[in-house]
Structure 1
Amino acid sequence: MGDNDAVEPMDTSETPLFWYYLEDCGRWHRFEDDPDNPLRSEDIERYFRRNSTGVLIRQSSNRHIEIDFSGQEGNCCCFMAPPVLWEWVDPTCPYQLILLSEVSAEYQTVAKYVKTDGLLDRSIVSISRIQNMDLWDMYCLKKKQLMRNQGVKKIQEKRLFHGTQIRNVESICKNNFDLRLAKEGVYGRGIYFAKHASYADQYSVSSTDPLSLYGGETQGLQGQNTKVIFLARVMIGKSTVGQMYMKKPDGVSSENSYDSCVDDMTHPNIFVIFDPYQIYPEYLIRYKLW
């Protein structure tokens, strides 16, 4: 602004105030833009003016919202929000498996991921969305930490596949992948993910057992031979070629900072993660064998 530029006073008496929340790890949304959100900007502003260091809590049929004003500056707030596609969120459950409708756009998108390489010629039995608020919060916090530590505004993420046994589904949905169970592999001792479902299929073990879920529930097909794979959201960040001896992506050197290991830098198909907080198990796919 030059010396001759005049500053025109603004009349803000009729200007509406809007509050925004940070959702899906990085996108800002106005509260009014979410029809399922029980809070509106005027409600938040009214509470904030009464108690600028308090915690506003609202509970609805499918949302649990906490806005912590303490330690925040100006009109910043913390909003514990699930991803936009989540529904019927029950904060009292460790996790929920939401069975997707075959006609939904979400189902079709995930199914396309499964069949993208044309090699996994299997019949998909079901696709379920995994809703675990605790794991989602940890994933988002880890993303913020990496961005802050590396001084960047974006961390590379991918949706990748992991094959496993049906008996491991409950633990992964509830507690995430367990690095303590990782065995030494060609590209390091970490949690392995694949770009293509057909590769993850090799590590999925067929079973006639039903899925045992939280609360004693089961998802059927008992007696039918099926397999499961996870489609996870994974922060791969900066990658380096993995080596068998590695227990972290930096290897034995601290000169370079990496977040994951891969099989090939030019055309990676395998990704190894050494920190479970860089993983969110997003979908469970169950399919039949021919």
Structure 2
Amino acid sequence: MSFERDLRQSITVADQVLSQVLDDHQRFVIVQDEDSNPRSSIPDSDSLILAKTSLRLCKHDKCSGCEDLHLCRYFVCGNCRFGTKCKNSHDLTSAHNSDLLEKHDLYGLAHGELFQLLLQNDPSLLPEVCSHYNKGNGEYGSCKYKTSCTNLHICLHFLQDDCKFGAACKRAHCFDANAQKILNARGLSPENMRKRHRLYKTKLLIASSAFKKSETVKGRTRHKSSSSVSEADHNEICLFFIRTGCSFKDKCVRFHHHLPYKWQISQKDGITWGDLPNEEEFEKAYCSPSSTGHQLVVNFMSMTCGVSEVRRLSTASSVTKPPHFILTTEWIWYWRNDKGGWTEYGKGEDSKLVASVTSEDLEKQYLADNEKEISFTSQNHQYILRFKEMCQQNLKYKTERDVRRRPRFVSAQDVKSKIKGESPDSSASSSVEVPPYWDKGALDNFTYKTDPLQSFSKEYQRVSSMFSRTLPRSIIHSIERVQNLSLWRVFQWQKEQMNKRNGGSAVDQRYLFHGTDESLIAAICEQNFDWRICGSHGTLYGKGSYFARDASYSDRYAKSRNGKTKKMFVALVLVGNFTRGNNTLVHPPQKPNTQSFYDSCVDNETNPAIFVVFEKFQIYPEYIIEYS
């Protein structure tokens, strides 16, 4: 082929060497045509080779011990209106930037080449495409910000060059005046504005490759996590919204609905979803393991209604949350018995016939890996349960039986009763042991209370001392204790689980700092940290919530509302067993030669200053410091 001949003339290394270079997934993404030969040592002429980098711009330009470039973002985007008078660096040759470029093997790139690489990899440079606009109905989709939205209202599939509707698509297939305004505000040069479509396509292809790569973790337990906000997050109903209302409101990535389930049918455009009427009837029918469909011609086995796809949204599985959480979805596992009926695993009238696994056991295994096989016994027989085929097989006689996974039915009235029964005076709340220094008169099961500390108290002195160690010149105006009984109960439950996994020894817990936008303070006090909503301090050591040993580090991320004072959290964090993280992690990595995982990630294993936590149950936001 002429392509191969041209490639060999420009790259004079052996195919094996070239293949090894391109196989480095930290540096390259290869997008191949469906007809490409997967056995070929080098990409064919229809392949697209994209360059990747984990290097990012620092959000604060000047900071010590930083692993990000200290550069003006408008300079990188090509249009800094301040030029040489800009207070932010335009110098790629500074000692800090030069060291980083050498470390990432990017030192020899021209300015334009480096900036192109950063634009297609650093998510903070180009504005995001609005996911709500692309998923809802109407002129603005489901985006409630409409014309004031700071993300781009443009067809995602158009940017990827794969929109099947073409000119008939109801989404925008051009960068309209509002989109141009948003891009101009980011400082895109005229040249970058001309190639904006290509920039976004490249950016989306790189992000898509990272998502696909994270879906399957070979050789160990799979974690269903992905990029910043996964499809699973969007399709999960928010527990806070059902109970008391969600403090994150429109920023919440989860679905807001008054019931722990919702039934929807795919619309004619193949993209949007419409609500099915009488969803409680659908739910009741679906919860019966013997039911294969509903009278409105919904097939529960294929989840279709005629030629249209049907989906069921629900709250998180009960096995993924602490036991006192209400309105989670309890999934029941059944096997078909000799009489054609359905028997729940681990239950039955005859104890000799009871399976050695329960619904809870199977649910945990299924969520970890829904394609694995589970061994169990019943009446001295050995069985294999295959999640993929949803059947169990007798290993001796090779007979097979159907298996079904269905939720336990919860009516709308049940929901009201459960919420009403969750009172502040319930025995569950009174049995929780809170710290002795908490104000017992300021405990509420439904929300949080803040209790100002007296400046002469030992508690105040302890917190202020931690803060002033690295910010000695800052003036503390107040320290408030956050008392959220619900979050504290979850934190204590998580601590017990981690202690058990740690062989009964006390897990490592530390007071750490976290700076954030002041507008999110109340929501964090109510519902805890969620990095998908609150954002993270970069992703250098993993995609999670970042906490710092030093207040001076978190000060960079504390955003003031009034321009005078800032607020910072002091959180109690179960850091547990930790290891050095990297920017590809969406959960802690597996420990060597074991089936267990680390609890958190850090910047330095011997002297950690930055901690990344992926599970919010490991965090309790205990104090808020207001300072200047």
Is this a same-fold pair by TM over 0.5? yes
Q: For residue 469 of structure 2, what is the amino acid of its counterpart?
A: T
Greater fraction strand: 1
Paired-residue identity, %: 36
The 2-side partners of 1:81 and 1:89 are apart by: 14
Post-superposition CA distance 1:174-211 (Å, at most 9, x none): 00001323455100000000001011001111221xxx
Q: 1:251 to 1:243 in 2, by over 3 A?
A: farther
Q: Match of 1:272, SS?
A: strand
Contact 1:248–1:274 under 8 Å retained in 2: yes
The 1-side partners of 2:550 and 2:531 are apart by: 22
The 1-side partners of 2:481 and 2:584 are apart by: 35
Greater fraction helix: 2
The 1-side partners of 2:465 and 2:595 are apart by: 40
The 2-side partners of 1:67 and 1:286 are apart by: 33
Q: For residue 607 of structure 2, what is the amino acid of its counterpart?
A: H
Q: For residue 509 of structure 2, what is the amino acid of its counterpart?
A: E
1:275 aligns with 2:627: no
1:200 aligns with 2:543: no
The 2-side partners of 1:64 and 1:83 are apart by: 18
2:490 alignment partner, one of 135, 138, 142:
138
Stretch of structure 1 that moved more, 148-157 or 167-176 = 148-157
Following superposition of structure 1 onto structure 2, how do residues 218-229 of structure 1 map, counting pairs within 5 Å? 225-229=564-568
1:239 aligns with 2:578: yes
Post-superposition CA distance 1:182-241 (Å, at most 9, x none): 455100000000001011001111221xxxxxxxxxxxxxxx611010000000000000
- Tell me the TM-score normalised to structure 2 length: 0.31
Counterpart for residue 473 of structure 2: 121
Following superposition of structure 1 onto structure 2, how do residues 29-44 of structure 1 map, counting pairs within 5 Å? none
**Equivalent pairs, count:** 202
The 2-side partners of 1:80 and 1:186 are apart by: 37
Q: 1:251 to 1:228 in 2, by over 3 A?
A: farther
RCO greater where, 1 or 2, for CA within 8 Å and sep 6 or more? 1
1:249 alignment partner, one of 588, 598, 622:
588
1:190 aligns with 2:544: yes
Q: Match of 2:499, SS?
A: helix
Segments ≥4 residues shifted beyond 4 Å: 251-256
C-alpha RMSD of matched pairs (Å): 2.4
- Tell me the TM-score normalised to structure 1 length: 0.65
Counterpart for residue 66 of structure 1: 427
Q: For residue 169 of structure 1, what is the amino acid of its counterpart?
A: I
Counterpart for residue 151 of structure 1: 503
Counterpart for residue 49 of structure 1: none
Following superposition of structure 1 onto structure 2, how do residues 1-12 of structure 1 map, counting pairs within 5 Å? none
Q: For residue 201 of structure 1, what is the amino acid of its counterpart?
A: D
Q: How far apart are 1:150 and its partner, in Å? A: 3.3
Q: How far apart are 1:65 and its partner, in Å? A: 7.3
Q: Match of 1:202, SS?
A: helix
The 2-side partners of 1:256 and 1:93 are apart by: 35
The 1-side partners of 2:551 and 2:520 are apart by: 18
Q: How far apart are 1:92 and its partner, in Å? A: 5.0
| Structure 2: unaligned runs, 5 residues or longer | 1-422
Post-superposition CA distance 1:57-107 (Å, at most 9, x none): xx9xxx957379xxxxxxxxx932221111122325500010111111111
